[in-house]
């Protein structure tokens, strides 16, 4: 590898995104996208967008969109940052809130981007192992500069008790980033902590419950000084005109998002029943995916056999995740096809 490349970059693998197959026949249950289309208001917003205006830069601070987000959650636009997917906002947090000799923490297993962000920054990674059933397990004296917490967690789907999260935020010496990518599918959220505490940021995305993974819009809510720090280091025009317009339309149609969420939760219930009947261990899910351990067959073999039948789920080889599969909740028809394929596997 070229000696021109930084040592830390040479040493790292980089993030491995879930596969995006080109074959339209594939039943895609591997990256927690929505199986349903986004709000019709998004189509209208895109159709009424004048292509002519694309010669102009977008609003660099996405003010109209931030005002909408503040209306939804409380606070003011000064409490809101928007980015090119929540992945961009996670990366900005790792740059804004961690000194070069600092440390980034996260639960293991959780979102596999977090260790990569620590590697990119060439800072210490300080992971915390979850309990035997992937439950909350935080040492009382744990310290780091920043802690990324997916809640509810991915890939396990488990929601941590809010009392634990609240107590942790109160005693942690650094910034706590609560990554609520899946929170619309769960019973409770922690947005109030972002608005009350000076060291807590809550991240949301339009990629899951709003069915807009292709749009790339994530946002952060928190104390104004933290938000200001993110603005200082972002790219000048990090959210384009098309994304700002479409995201505004999607966020203005909460009813559509809620309908999609309820549909997914109903399919989630039905799929859990079917899989448990077949002997799978299914973890309690507060998300749009299931974390399951298959009976009799190894997770790796089941992954391969499903793949042969054009059904794609997510398998994380190695370590504590190797005995499990993460399965996105698709439509009822897709989940029935999955269950049928599993019966034959
Ligand atoms: C926990 C978690 N955070 C963030 C993201 C990234 O979301 P976005 O599409 O907004 O970048 C994902 C995507 O799968 C995720 O699982």
For the chain of 345 residues, list the mean pLDDT of each consecutive stretch of 10: 90 89 93 98 97 98 98 97 98 98 98 97 97 97 97 98 98 98 98 97 98 98 98 97 98 98 98 97 98 96 96 94 98 97 87
Q: Whole-angstrom Cα distance, residue 259 to residue 182?
A: 15
The percent of residues above 70 in pLDDT, for the chain, comes to 100
- Kindly state if the Cβ of 153 falls inside 6 Å of ligand 1: no
pLDDT tens for 113-147 read 999 999 999 999 999 999 999 999 999 999 999 99
Cα(87) to ligand 1 centroid in Å equals 6
Distance between CA atoms of 93 and 121, rounded to whole angstroms? Answer: 11
Q: Which ligand 1 atom minimizes the distance to the CA of 150?
A: 1
Q: Give yes or no for residue 154 CB within 6 A of ligand 1.
A: yes
Domains of the chain by start residue, with CATH: 7-37+255-344 (3.90.1150.10), 40-253 (3.40.640.10)
Give the DSSP letter of residue 89: H
């Amino acid at each position: 590898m070229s000696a021109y490349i930084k040592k830390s970059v040479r040493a790292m693998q980089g993030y491995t995104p879930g596969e995006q197959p080109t074959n339209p026949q594939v039943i895609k249950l591997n990256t927690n996208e929505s199986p349903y289309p986004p709000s019709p208001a998004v189509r209208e917003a895109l159709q009424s967008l004048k292509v002519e205006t694309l010669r102009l830069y977008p609003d660099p601070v996405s003010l109209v969109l931030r005002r909408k987000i503040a209306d939804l959650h409380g606070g003011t636009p000064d409490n809101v940052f928007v980015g090119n997917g929540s992945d961009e906002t996670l990366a900005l947090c790792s740059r804004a809130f961690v000194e070069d000799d600092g440390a980034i923490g996260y639960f293991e297993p959780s979102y596999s981007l977090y260790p990569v962000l620590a590697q990119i920054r060439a800072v210490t990674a300080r992971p915390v192992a979850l309990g035997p059933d992937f439950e909350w397990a935080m040492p009382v004296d744990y310290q780091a500069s920043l802690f990324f917490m997916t809640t509810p967690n991915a890939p396990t789907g488990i929601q941590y008790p809010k009392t634990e999260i609240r107590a942790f935020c109160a005693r942690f010496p650094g910034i706590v980033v609560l990554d609520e990518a899946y929170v619309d599918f769960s019973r409770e959220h922690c947005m109030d902590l972002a608005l009350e505490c000076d060291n807590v940021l809550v991240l949301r995305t339009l990629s899951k419950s709003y069915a807009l993974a292709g749009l790339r819009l994530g946002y952060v809510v928190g104390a104004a000084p933290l938000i200001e720090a993110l603005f200082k280091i972002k790219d000048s025009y990090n959210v384009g005109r098309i994304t700002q317009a479409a995201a505004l339309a999607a966020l203005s149609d909460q009813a559509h998002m809620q309908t999609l969420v309820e549909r997914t939760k109903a399919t989630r219930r039905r799929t859990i029943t079917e899989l448990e009947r077949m002997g799978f261990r299914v973890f309690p899910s507060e998300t749009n995916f299931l974390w399951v351990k298959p009976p009799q067959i190894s997770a790796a073999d089941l992954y391969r056999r499903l793949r042969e039948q054009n059904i794609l789920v997510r398998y994380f080889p190695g370590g504590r995740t190797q005995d499990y599969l993460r399965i996105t909740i698709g439509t009822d028809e897709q989940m029935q096809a999955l269950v049928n394929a599993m019966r034959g596997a």
